[in-house]
Every structure is written in structure tokens, then in C-alpha cells.
């Protein structure tokens, strides 16, 4: 087996994006375009990955360096192409770092949806000796390089701007992907000229050189158009986003996940699902999310970096953002509608969190409930606690965060402020409207508010005559 070295072209400007962000860093499914390409290359067990950068090179290289390091993967090699004198000139920059004994697999940093199997087929067609081109039939091939054949044999790729009228009628086009023996590639690259309509060094001119040298050129057709579609504009980015989301939605449905509408589903990361999971419309999943058996997600939920245990129900408009600490929702918990779970919210089994309740960096034990309009931050909440509407933990004194402990079976009335650090002992009850800043006694009622009084002889003020 010949080793495969991946070359990713990512120096181009992407003028039509009309953005300051380098094109290959625009996101699809929550990840930059180029990361999709690199991930696909990794699935092929490539020996090395070389990325050609130019426009926005620092940003692109920094991103790839950081994401590889964070993911425990090898950082790709970078070569710079400055100025950009065409695709052939781009690949010429790779020559010093490309080993001679492998197959060079040339990919486009802005074509995110190509599948590993398609590239593997291209590598297999190359087999270390042929020039293998990935091609596709297009109804409107305007702008693309045409595959010119004589009989069956590929003779050349002719760029649209250089093509004759009859060549422009050819529907078979070059997709920008090829697999080529590296030693031969280097030889052909050294012979490129820029004698063409755009005055550029075309990588595609190596096809004629291969034919001249008696090297077999094969065209390997792509199965699906969307695999070879590039991103040049926000419109194309949005189109590929939908194609990508549909691909992910299908894969989940094939595993048995029931999506109310695959066209209204967005996954920007990874989603693990157990059996009999149901997801209603317009939900967005980000980062790493797992859903246990029988989990039901209502419409319009946003869920990032969370583990939802079996049988939990998230009702409409629930917002969960686990960030680095993560969020855990226990078995059979009932969350929402309109609940907000923030980093470090760890909810045990059968916990209920209702509308307009925010939980941050807090653990709630089995059966605890906070059903309406409340805040729990930096708190430890025991089993079966009932936390009243409008109550909050005052966990921040303007400088430091402190913890609140609410032991098992406590009832906190409505509109209470628990001023941390403070402990409410087991089985205690806190009267509505209390401000609690000292630890309370177990099993007792604690009230900390002014007594109600009726003022005798009081009359409402009257408007003075002027
Ligand atoms: C290229 C092909 C064309 C093919 C089409 C498929 C050539 C000459 N033509 O055309 O046959 O049908 O792709 O999309 O190769 N790039 C650089 N440095 C440069 C120029 C481009 O790194 O100097 C990168 C771009 O960032 C991009 C890729 O190469 O990732 C392709 O460049 P692009 O300008 O899109 O090529 P096309 O002219 O569209
Ligand atoms: Ca292009």
C-alpha cells in the first residue's frame, strides 16, 4: 500500500463571501469548513496533511494548530503561497515538504462535504501509478474545468475561460480533487506555464503533461453533487449547511431517533442518542450532547454540552448551555418550558425545573423541585426540596462567590433570598419573603421579614387645594 499525503488548498481569498473572516474559517455545522476537510483526511489514515495557506494565513494556521492540539491530533504542516498565482502555483509550494514515495491527495479547503469513501475510491484508482481525477456531471458547468476526452481516454482539463464553444458544451467537469503519484506530480509541476486566459499556473494543466508522458489518467465520478460543491458565497454556505444537516438528521433517523421534521433540526457538534428518543421541531444541539433512552425534547430547545439521562423530558424553549463544566439532567427529570440550565447544573433523577428558572453550578438531588421564576447558583440542594417561586440564592457579594446548602426535605417559600454562604438544615421551612443570612435549624419554620401590622387611624393623603 502506498502512503497517502493529503494536500489541502486554502490560500484563496473567497472574495464573494464579502467577509473579513478567511473563507475556510466560515462555519458549517458549527465547525470551520477546513475542519471538515481535515477530519475527512484523517478518516483516510493519511501519513501527513499539508495545508496551503495565503489569505488570512495566520488565522487559518492558528485555528488548525489549536484545534489539533485540543483534540490530541497531529498539527498539520503549513506552507504559504504568497502571492496567489493559481492552483498549480499553490501546489508548487508543497514540493519541498511532500515525500516522493507517496500518493498526493489534493483537496479543497472550501469543499466540506466530500465523503471519505469517495476519496478512498479516488486513491484506489490512482494506486500509486495513475492520475485519478474526481469528476461530476453538471447541468450547468459554467465556470468549471471541462474534462476533454478522446474516445474514452481523458486528454486534458480545459478551464471555462480557455474553452472553445464545443468544449463548453461538455457537462463533465473537474471537481478540484485528484490523487496523483507524488514524484510524477513534482515533475509535472516544474513544467507548468501560465500561458492561458487568466495568466495563472493551472494545476489542471498536469493532465496534458501526464498524457504526454504516457501516464494513464482516469476520471472517477462523484456519486453525489453536494459532495463536491464548494462554498463561494453566503448563499452556497447556507445551501451546504442544509445539506449537511439533512445528512446528519438522516443518520440519526436511521439509528431510530424520531425527528418531527428533519428539515428543522440543527446539530453543530455530536449527538449520541439511546432508543426511542423524540425530538420536536427547531431544536439546536451544540458541542457534545447525549440523550438517554426515551428522552423527549420539545420544540425550540437549544442544548449544548449536556448529558440527558433516560426518560427525561425537556419541554419547549428550554435552553441548556453546559460549556466546559457540562450540564447533567437525571433520569425522568422534567425541565421546562422556558428553563435555563447553565454550566455545572447537575440535576438528579425526577428533578423538576419549571418556567423561568435558572440553575448554574448547582447540584439538585432526587426529586428536588424549582417550578417557577427562581435562581439557584452555587447551591447544593437535597432530595425532595421544594424551592418556591421567585426565590434566589444571593451567591455573589460583588467579589466572591459563596455556596448555599439546602438540605433534604426543605421547603423554601416564595420570594426568599438565601444569602450565601448559608445552610438551610434538613426538613426546615422558610417563610415566604424571608432574607436568610444565618444557618437555620432543622425541622423548624424560619421567618425573616417584618411582621404584618395594621395601622389604626391612618388615612390616605388627600390632594392639597392651591
Ligand atoms: C478550479 C479548477 C477547475 C475546477 C474547479 C472546481 C484550476 C485551474 N481549475 O477552478 O478545473 O473545475 O476548481 O471547483 O485548478 N487556490 C489557492 N491558490 C491559488 C488559487 C486557488 O490556494 O493561487 C485554492 C483556492 O483557495 C481554492 C482552490 O484552490 O480552495 C480552487 O481555487 P478556485 O479559484 O476556486 O479554482 P477555480 O478557478 O474555481
Ligand atoms: Ca472554485
- Using a pLDDT cut of 90, give the percent of the chain over it: 98
Active-site residue list: 372
Q: Judge whether 326 and 347 are in contact, CB under 8 Å.
A: no
Task: For 246-309, list the strands marked E by DSSP.
Answer: 258-259, 265-273, 278-279, 283-291, 296-297, 302-308
Instruction: For the beta carbon of residue 94, count every other beta carbon within 10 angstroms.
Output: 24
- The reported pLDDT for the residue numbered 466 is 84
- The reported pLDDT for the residue numbered 435 is 98
- The reported pLDDT for the residue numbered 142 is 95
**CA triple 288-289-292, angle to 5 deg:** 145
- The reported pLDDT for the residue numbered 458 is 96
pTM given for the model: 0.93
DSSP tag of 396: B
Task: For 331-449, list the strands marked E by DSSP.
Answer: 334-335, 340-341, 346-347, 352-360, 363-364, 369-377, 379-381, 386-387, 392-394, 404-406, 411-412, 417-419, 422-424, 429-430, 435-436, 445-446
CA distance linking residue 392 with residue 266, whole number of Å: 33
Q: Which of 145, 142, 168 lies closest to 219, judged by CA?
A: 145
- The reported pLDDT for the residue numbered 234 is 98
**Cα 231 to middle of ligand 2, angstroms:** 8
Atom of ligand 1 nearest to the CA of 52: 22
Instruction: List the chain residues with pLDDT less than 70.
Output: none
- The reported pLDDT for the residue numbered 250 is 98
Who contacts 345 (Cβ-Cβ below 8 Å, separation ≥6)? 320, 322, 327, 328, 359, 360, 361, 362, 364
* Structural domains in the chain, sorted by start: 4-228 (3.90.550.10), 234-446 (2.160.10.10)
**Cα 214 to middle of ligand 2, angstroms:** 29
Residues with CB under 6 A from ligand 1: 9-12, 52, 54, 81, 84-87, 89-90, 108-110, 144-145, 157, 159, 173-176, 202-204, 230
Amino acid at each position: 500500500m502506498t502512503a497517502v499525503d493529503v494536500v489541502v488548498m486554502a490560500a484563496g481569498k473567497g472574495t464573494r463571501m464579502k467577509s473579513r473572516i478567511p473563507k475556510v474559517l466560515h462555519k458549517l455545522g458549527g465547525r470551520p469548513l477546513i475542519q471538515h476537510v481535515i477530519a475527512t483526511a484523517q478518516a483516510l489514515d493519511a501519513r501527513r496533511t499539508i495545508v496551503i495557506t495565503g489569505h488570512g494565513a495566520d488565522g487559518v494556521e492558528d485555528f488548525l494548530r489549536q484545534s489539533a492540539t485540543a483534540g490530541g491530533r497531529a498539527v498539520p504542516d503549513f506552507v504559504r503561497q504568497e502571492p496567489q498565482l493559481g492552483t498549480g502555483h499553490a501546489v508548487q509550494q508543497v514540493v519541498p515538504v511532500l515525500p516522493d514515495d507517496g500518493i498526493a491527495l489534493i483537496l479543497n479547503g472550501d469543499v466540506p462535504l466530500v465523503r471519505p469513501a469517495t476519496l478512498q475510491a479516488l486513491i484506489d484508482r490512482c494506486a500509486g501509478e495513475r492520475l485519478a481525477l474526481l469528476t461530476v456531471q453538471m447541468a450547468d458547468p459554467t465556470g468549471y474545468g471541462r474534462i476533454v476526452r478522446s474516445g474514452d481516454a481523458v486528454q486534458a482539463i480545459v478551464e471555462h475561460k480557455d474553452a472553445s464553444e464545443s468544449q463548453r458544451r461538455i457537462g463533465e467537469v473537474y471537481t478540484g480533487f485528484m490523487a496523483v503519484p507524488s514524484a510524477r506530480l513534482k515533475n509535472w509541476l516544474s513544467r507548468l506555464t501560465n500561458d492561458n486566459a487568466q495568466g495563472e499556473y493551472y494545476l489542471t494543466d498536469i493532465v496534458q503533461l501526464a498524457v504526454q508522458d504516457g501516464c494513464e489518467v482516469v476520471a472517477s465520478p462523484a456519486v453525489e453533487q453536494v459532495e463536491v460543491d464548494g462554498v463561494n458565497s453566503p448563499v452556497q454556505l447556507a445551501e451546504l449547511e442544509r445539506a449537511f444537516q439533512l445528512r446528519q438528521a438522516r443518520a440519526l433517523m436511521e439509528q431510530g431517533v424520531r425527528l418531527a421534521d428533519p428539515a428543522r433540526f440543527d446539530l453543530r457538534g455530536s449527538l449520541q442518542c439511546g432508543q426511542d428518543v423524540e425530538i420536536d421541531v427547531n431544536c439546536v444541539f451544540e458541542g457534545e450532547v447525549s440523550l438517554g433512552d426515551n428522552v423527549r425534547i420539545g420544540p425550540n430547545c437549544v442544548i449544548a454540552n449536556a448529558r440527558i439521562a433516560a426518560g427525561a423530558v425537556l419541554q419547549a424553549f428550554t435552553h441548556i448551555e453546559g460549556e466546559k463544566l457540562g450540564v447533567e439532567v437525571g433520569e425522568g427529570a422534567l425541565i421546562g418550558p422556558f428553563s435555563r440550565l447553565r454550566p455545572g447544573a447537575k440535576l438528579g433523577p425526577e428533578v423538576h425545573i419549571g418556567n423561568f428558572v435558572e440553575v448554574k453550578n448547582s447540584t439538585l438531588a432526587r426529586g428536588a423541585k424549582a417550578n417557577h421564576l427562581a435562581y439557584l447558583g452555587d447551591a447544593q440542594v437535597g432530595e425532595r426540596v421544594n424551592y418556591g417561586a421567585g426565590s434566589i440564592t444571593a451567591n455573589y457579594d460583588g467579589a466572591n462567590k459563596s455556596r448555599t446548602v439546602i438540605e433534604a426535605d426543605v421547603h423554601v417559600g416564595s420570594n426568599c433570598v438565601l444569602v450565601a454562604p448559608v445552610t438551610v438544615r434538613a426538613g426546615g421551612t422558610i417563610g415566604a419573603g424571608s432574607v436568610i443570612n444565618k444557618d437555620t435549624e432543622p425541622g423548624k419554620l424560619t421567618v425573616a421579614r417584618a411582621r404584618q401590622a395594621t395601622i389604626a387611624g391612618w388615612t390616605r393623603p388627600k390632594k392639597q387645594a392651591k
